[in-house]
Amino acid sequence: MSSSSPIRIAVDAVGGDHAPAAVLEGVTAALAADPGLEVLLVGPADVVSAYASAHERVEAVVASEIIGMDEHPAAAIRAKKNSSIVVGCRLVKDGRAHGFFSAGSTGAMMAGATLVMGRIKGVSRPAIATVIPTVDLPVVLLDIGANADCKPEHLVQFAVMGAAYARTVLGVPVPRVALLNIGEEATKGSVLAQEAHALMAAQVPGFIGNVEGRDIPAGGADVIVTDGFTGNVALKLMEGMSKALLGQFKAAMLSSPVNKVAAAVLKPSLQSMRDRLDPDSHGAAPLLGVAGLALIGHGSSGPKAVASALRVGATAVRGGLVERIAEALES
Amino acid sequence: MSSSSPIRIAVDAVGGDHAPAAVLEGVTAALAADPGLEVLLVGPADVVSAYASAHERVEAVVASEIIGMDEHPAAAIRAKKNSSIVVGCRLVKDGRAHGFFSAGSTGAMMAGATLVMGRIKGVSRPAIATVIPTVDLPVVLLDIGANADCKPEHLVQFAVMGAAYARTVLGVPVPRVALLNIGEEATKGSVLAQEAHALMAAQVPGFIGNVEGRDIPAGGADVIVTDGFTGNVALKLMEGMSKALLGQFKAAMLSSPVNKVAAAVLKPSLQSMRDRLDPDSHGAAPLLGVAGLALIGHGSSGPKAVASALRVGATAVRGGLVERIAEALES
């Protein structure tokens, strides 16, 4: 696609804990930052029509149903054809939008994207990727939860898809791809990890071998591949560790009047550190392997995360992410 | 055993990156802190005899061989009958020591303890446990690497052994036992996690259900059970996150002269926070399920970690850890 064509991203107006207010605020920021972006806002008529009539480059697409966080994902996708998630995925399938973002039910987004958009030819299992800020360059980690049980050949596909994402969205020409394992040697780890290592060494361009848990926050790889069970535990553990350590620091800094003064001096430097490590700077986790761009937002997404997700989504579309994944899997 | 009997712990004088100096310094501190502790120091004659003749409550046990970090564990245990690790495990087997600590090769300690001490009756797979400082109470996490591939019934045994450790060493009367998983519901996760959940709900006293990665640093459980692959990734990830975040904080604090002054004011509070979260405060990871106390130190153990390991070891012996595990597995 020509780089001057507008990028059309569908957005679920009613997905997420802070919808629709946070979503609409994020859309406004994304539109202001990118003159080449158009938004198809999906949701109940009263929400989407009022916003679309007040903003340029926004089209309202009415979807009267909402899939709740506690509904069975696949059953809800089949039953609620007029839900914001099904309608958004359908816009991509029909070629009216290049991608779809929702901060609603992760399970429903996975089921909706897979069932409605379909899979890229040759993909066995779509995987959810996330971009983790590290002390060095950001790293793509996948799968973070779509597939709790994996076979070695699934991890090989995750590696190829993750590398395509790093090339397209992070601009890394030749991504270094690593396998998450419990030792450096090829013979270490579970049967899954050992077999995946052997396959990846033979089939994955840029494969640099195993990394361990401690290497994730240190950087050193551009793509880290694991099964969706380990990846999900790792991602949530990083969230928990950040929260716990920052909480402890905060408590130490407020523990006396003189500490509070010192903390005020340090505040700008610490804030810039927090900004650098902010997971909201990437905004959404793509479901890689489906035949369209599906961006899954955190349920707690605020305006900044929504705007980041749309910026990342536009970059992915302009870079031809889906086509690149298809090409990489063919070769 | 009567609480006034001396506790005899064998110590590998030549295990670890900083041996023998750090080991000997740690032993000295442990002996000073606990008048009821006796040490059997295992290693080359020149190292152990000189130390034993200069210190009370220390017996020298000569072991002329050393197992290197890069040797195949089980093969080395069979070939080097006079290595410090085999001799130390033998002291426990023969009833001359209540436990054995080594900061040498983890694999060799696992193989040595399992082959020489033997397993507690009914134990399928010994597991390595570690105690993690959290913002709340410390939590026992196991397995952290002895078993990369597990069956559901192994996780049930880990739960029972971990609970016995929490009762004996952490003094928790009725430990809350949780399964590490990727969602709260019983039906979430891998096949292993789902089947383990069902078995644990039926068989493990104090089972409170699933916890997720973010719950590990938050506390809320006394024992968290997982397979050795996930546990090893999680433990090393926590080490990596602590290092990365503390490094970023340090850089922020030294980024300007005025920041340095503020940092100096905060230093005592931050140091007390670091002490609270210091993994060295527990010192060693026990291999649970073998018929004797086997304490595995981190390769980087310093004097503080060695002293902590001996203190924890003495507590475990006084509390009858091995007997409690055997009783718990029988019922």
Same domain, yes or no: B152 and B264:
yes
Q: Are residues A173 and A257 in the same domain?
A: yes
User: Does a structural domain hold residue A284?
Assistant: no
Residues B158 and B17 occupy one common structural domain: no
* Helix-helix angle A321-330:A152-169, to 10 degrees: 140
When mean pLDDT is compared across A114-123, A145-154, B252-261, B293-302, the lowest value belongs to: B252-261
Note whether residue B243 is domain-resident: yes
**Which pair of structure tokens corresponds to residue A45?**
């008529």
Quick check: A191 and B149 CB within 8 A?
yes
Sheet holding B177-180, edge to edge: B58-62, B37-43, B7-12, B99-102, B293-297, B284-288, B127-132, B139-142, B223-225, B177-180, B207-211
CB nearest B189 (choices: A148, A240, A247): A148
| pLDDT for A325 beyond 90 | yes
- B18: Cα within 13 Å, side-chain hemisphere: 16
Regarding whether B201 and B67 lie in a shared domain, the answer is: no
The enclosing domain of B178 has a CATH number of: 3.40.718.10
Measured distance CA(B19)–CA(B299) in Å, rounded? 9
Identity (one letter) of the amino acid at B294? Answer: A
The residue to which tokens 């190829």 are assigned: A160
Interatomic CA distance for residues B18 and B103, integer angstroms: 9
The token pair at B48 is: 């152990």
- How many separate domains does chain A show? 2
Query: Is the pLDDT at A60 greater than 60, yes or no?
Result: yes
In a domain, residue B283? The reply is no
The first and second tokens of residue B160, run together, are: 């029972």
Q: Do B238 and A241 touch (CB under 8 A)?
A: yes
Mean pLDDT of A293-300: 95
Task: Give pLDDT, residue B250.
Answer: 83
Rounded to whole angstroms, how far apart are CA atoms A88 and A76?
A: 14
Structure token pair of residue B328:
């718990």
* CA distance to partner chain A, nearest, from residue B218 (Å): 7
Query: What is d(CA B89, CA B113) in angstroms, rounded to the nearest whole number?
Result: 6
Q: What percent of chain B has pLDDT over 90?
A: 80
> Who's near A311: CB < 8 A, 6+ residues apart?
A30, A33, A34, A283
The answer for residues whose C-beta is within 8 angstroms of residue A46's C-beta and 6 or more apart is none
In chain A, what residues touch B259 (CB-CB under 8 Å)? 265-266, 269
Share of residues in chain B with pLDDT > 70 (%): 98
**Residue B14 has what pLDDT?**
97
Q: Are residues B194 and B258 in the same domain?
A: yes
Q: Which of A137-146, A244-253, B165-174, B195-204 has the lowest mean pLDDT?
A: A244-253
Report the percentage of chain A scoring pLDDT > 90: 80
- The residues, ordered by sequence, that sit 6+ positions from B327 with a Cβ below 8 Å of its Cβ are none
ω into residue A278 within 30 of 0, thus cis? no
| Cβ–Cβ below 8 Å for B230 and A235 | no
Interface of A with B in 211-270 (CB under 8 A): 212-218, 226-230, 232-249, 251-253, 255-256, 258-259, 261-263, 265-266, 269-270
* Position B54 in a domain: yes
Q: What number is the average pLDDT over the span B198-215?
A: 97
| Range from A29-33, A231-235, A282-286, B112-116 carrying the lowest mean pLDDT | A282-286
Contact at CB, B230 and A229, closer than 8 angstroms: yes
pLDDT interval class at A265 (50, 70, 90):
confident
State whether B148 and A189 contact (CB < 8 Å): yes
The CA distance from B104 to B11, in Å, is: 11
Give the pLDDT band of residue B279 (cuts 50, 70, 90): low
Instruction: Centre a 10 Å sphere on the Cβ of residue A95 and count the other Cβ atoms it contains.
Output: 9
pLDDT at B1 over 50: no
CA contacts within 13 A on the Cβ side of B84: 27
A79 and A178, same domain (yes or no): no
CA distance A28 to B30: 63
Average pLDDT, chain A: 94
Q: State the count of interchain CB pairs (< 8 A) between A and B.
A: 189
Claim to verify: residue B119 and residue B139 sit in the same structural domain: no
Q: What is the band of B2 on the pLDDT scale with cuts at 50, 70, 90?
A: very low
CA dihedral (A145, A150, A153, A156) positive or negative: positive
Mean pLDDT on A291-308: 95
Whole-angstrom Cα distance, residue B133 to residue B228? 19
Does the structure show a pLDDT above 80 at A274? no
Is residue B132 located within the same domain as residue B271?
yes
Q: Is residue A283 part of a domain?
A: no
pLDDT of A246 over the 70 cut:
yes
Q: In terms of pLDDT, which residue wins out, A159 or A219?
A: A159
**C-beta of residue B284 within 8 angstroms of C-beta of residue B101:** yes
pLDDT at A2 over 50: no
Tally DSSP H helices, then E strands, for chain A: 11, 11
Helix %, strand %, coil % of chain A (to 5):
50, 20, 35
Helix (H, G, I), strand (E, B) or coil at B315: helix
The residue-averaged pLDDT of A301-325 equals: 96
Asked if A244 lies within 8 A of B272 by C-beta distance, the reply is: no
A74-88, B129-143, B233-247 — most confident range: A74-88
Statement to judge: residues A269 and A295 lie in one domain: no
Residue found by looking up tokens 């995987």 in the block: A127
Give B-chain residues touching A245 at CB under 8 angstroms. Answer: 217, 241-242, 245-246, 277
Measured between CA atoms, the residue of chain B closest to residue A149 is B190
pLDDT value at B18 more than 70: yes
Structural domain ending residue among the three candidates A278, A300, A317: A278
Task: Based on the fold, state whether residues A42 and A96 are members of the same structural domain.
Answer: yes
Cβ–Cβ below 8 Å for A244 and B135: yes
CB-based burial label for B89 (10 Å; 0-12, 13-18, 19+): buried
Same-domain pairing of A271 and A130: yes
Integer Cα distance of B274 and B268 in angstroms: 10
High-pLDDT (> 70) share of chain A, %: 98
Cβ contact B245–A241 (<8 Å): yes
Q: Residues A119, A188: one domain? A: no
Compute how many other C-beta atoms are within 10 angstroms of the C-beta atom of residue A152: 17
Q: Are the Cβ atoms of B266 and A252 closer than 8 angstroms? A: yes
Domain that holds residue A330: 1-123+289-331
Mean pLDDT of chain B: 94
pLDDT score, position A314: 97
Domain C-terminal end among A242, A259, A278 = A278
Q: How far is CA A108 from CA A61, A67, A296, B45, in A?
A: 19, 7, 10, 67
Tokens 């640093």 correspond to what residue? B217
B189 CB near a chain A CB, below 8 Å?
Answer: yes
How many CB atoms lie under 10 A from the CB of residue A322?
25
Task: Give ipTM to 2 decimals.
Answer: 0.93
The whole-number average pLDDT for the span A260-289 is 83
Listed in sequence order, the residues at least 6 apart from A79 whose beta carbon sits closer than 8 Å to its beta carbon are none
